[in-house]
Structure 1
Amino acid sequence: MQKIAPFLWFDGQAEEAANLYTSIFRNSRITEIQRYGEAGPGEKGSVMSVSFELEGEAFIALNGGPAFTFSPAISFFVHCETQDEVDTLWAKLGEGGGQPRQCGWITDRFGVTWQIVPTALGRMLRDKDAAKSKRVMQAMLEMVKLDIAALEAAYEGR
């Protein structure tokens, strides 16, 4: 069992969010749904929490009510190998009212923020040639969804 797991507070959408996330990421599944009983505070039989895995990592989603909301101050960083993976995740997380943000960040319809980032970006930003990494950083800062070909063009000075 994973020692530390993200715990996400939703306002009645925990099961819907968990179903969306497990449909998007491979090696993902719902592992348990807990329902409110006689003691409440939710309606008896309604979903209290959903435990699920994304890419083998444990998460817990709670239907805790409107007291707290999400903020981009906490986000999930997703390493992507290909542009197709970037495009697919970007599209699926943006469905139903998601909000694209700068530099590969997107907030889904539940308010959870994700960073959809090609692994090649890290390699380019760590290059010992400061001019190359600076060009890549400048290109990235001008993007919303990250474009690997455009980042590589900046890296190569094209």
Structure 2
Amino acid sequence: MADTNQKITPCLWVETTDAKAVADYYLSIFKDGVLKEYHQYTNPPEAGGGNFETAIIEIAGMELSILAAGPYFKFNESVSFVINTKDQAETDYYWEALTSNGGEESQCGWCKDKYGLSWQVVPVEYFDLINSDDPEVRDKAMKNTMTQKKIVLSELK
């Protein structure tokens, strides 16, 4: 496994056997990312045979392990990754990148990428609004969040 200071590395089991394609997809979205490792394997006959691949990528400073071993498990919303964006432009970029090409919009800043992994694309200013000491600011932000798919800050203020 690649050298890392990260104690826990999330492993994503994707429903394909092409880890390189999955790694390339995420690296195309997270421009500062790197492919740290890539391996191809064949299961022995006693494990059912078949090929699978693994990759380790680092995106946005976080290492992820990709296990591309076929359609045995599906992602669901019980696990998601939050992207803390600096402004609306960055929010728009990640939202478009993740929901296009087979991705899917959901509600309140949640979406899925083309592999079905759930993401929350949230401008950091959003948390200031929903946690404001001013109840009017807080209530307006929370109420308007419920009407949005992608978080649009200007509609929450």
TM-score (ref. length: structure 1): 0.88
Displacement of 1:14: 3.0
% identity of equivalent residues: 30
Indicate the residue corresponding to 1:5 in structure 2. 9
Mapped to 2, the partners of 1:67 and 1:127 lie a distance apart of 44
Displacement of 1:101: 0.2
Indicate the residue corresponding to 2:50 in structure 1. 42
Indicate the residue corresponding to 1:92 in structure 2. 97
CA contact (8 A) 2:15 2:115 kept: no
- Name the one with the larger helix percent: 1
Displacement of 1:66: 1.4
Mapped to 2, the partners of 1:111 and 1:4 lie a distance apart of 22
Displacement of 1:113: 0.7
SS at match of 1:67: coil
From 130, 136, 145, the counterpart of 1:125: 130
The one-letter code of the counterpart of 1:60 is S
Mapped to 1, the partners of 2:43 and 2:93 lie a distance apart of 42
SS at match of 2:53: strand
Unaligned runs of at least 5 residues, structure 2: none
Mapped to 2, the partners of 1:50 and 1:86 lie a distance apart of 27
The one-letter code of the counterpart of 2:114 is R
Indicate the residue corresponding to 1:22 in structure 2. 27
Give the count of matched residue pairs. Answer: 149
Mapped to 1, the partners of 2:110 and 2:135 lie a distance apart of 25
Q: Is 1:108 the equivalent of 2:116? A: no
SS at match of 1:106: strand
**Kindly tell me: are residues 134 and 38 of structure 1, through their superposed partners in 2, closer, same or farther at Cα, counting changes over 3 Å?**
closer
Q: Is 1:65 the equivalent of 2:70? A: yes
CA contact (8 A) 1:15 1:61 kept: no
**Kindly tell me: are residues 35 and 126 of structure 1, through their superposed partners in 2, closer, same or farther at Cα, counting changes over 3 Å?**
same
